[in-house]
Amino acid sequence: MELLDGISKRRSVRKFTDQVVDREVLNNLVKAGMQAPSASNLQAWRFVIVDDPLVVKKIKRFSPGLVGDPQAIIIICSDYGYAESRKSGTHYKEYGCIMDASMAAENIMLAAVDAGLGTCAIKSYTEKAVRKIVQLPSDIHLEILLSVGYPDGELRMVKRKPFEDNVHYNVWEKKV
């Protein structure tokens, strides 16, 4: 698939078929995620690939933002302990980790489009419960969940604000 096609075809998918997603396919999504830029190339990102249907179901129970029944969930975390050991400072934890994780997430969601999959980025979950389910150590920070599965049905268009409304040139007052 052409890169720009993938970018424009990505949608937040909330209805999935029951077709299993092979672990090799899931691995390839995460490999695409790891190609994202990483502040100071720290790569503090960590990924938990959840493809055990029981674990998916448990996480769903504590995630109001997770709609539909995905075959898998990719959990993106940041290793704060590792970041600290590299003397990255609080700045990295506050901005770097979340930005790295988000850019990795976008790569994963685009690679998913290329593989015929649908995804949805989820920030609405009970963090304590999800941490317990996947047994995250205390120094591993949970950043975002991505549901993954084959989309069921047509994807609807997303309403986007006009380009001109959001763009300025050189200084704030100058618009199109």
- Over the window 135 to 164, marking each residue x when it contacts its own copies by CB under 8 A and - when it does not, the resulting string is xxx--x---x-------------xxxx-x-
Nearer to its own copies, 154 or 166 (CB): 166
Q: Where are the beta strands (DSSP E) in 69-127?
A: 72-79, 118-122
Q: Report residue 153 as tokens.
A: 């049905």
State phi, psi for 33 to the nearest 5 degrees: -60, -40
Please identify, among the stretches 14-22, 128-136, 147-155, the one whose residues bind its own copies according to the rule CB under 8 A: 128-136
Given 96, 118, 149, 151, the residue binding its own copies (CB under 8 A): 96
State phi, psi for 12 to the nearest 5 degrees: -80, 115
**How many residues contact its own copies, by CB under 8 A?**
68
- Whole-number Å distance between alpha carbons of 111 and 158: 19
- Whole-number Å distance between alpha carbons of 69 and 53: 10
The residues in 48-77 that bind its own copies, with binding defined as CB under 8 A, are 48-52, 55
- Over the window 75 to 94, marking each residue x when it contacts its own copies by CB under 8 A and - when it does not, the resulting string is ----------------x---
Residue length, the chain? 176
- Which element (helix H / strand E) includes 147? strand 140-149
- Which element (helix H / strand E) includes 122? strand 118-122
The residues that touch its own copies, with contacts defined as CB under 8 A, are: 1-8, 10, 12, 23, 27, 30-32, 34-37, 39, 41, 43, 45-52, 55, 91, 95-96, 98-99, 102-103, 105-107, 109-111, 113-114, 121, 123, 133-137, 140, 144, 158-161, 163, 166-173
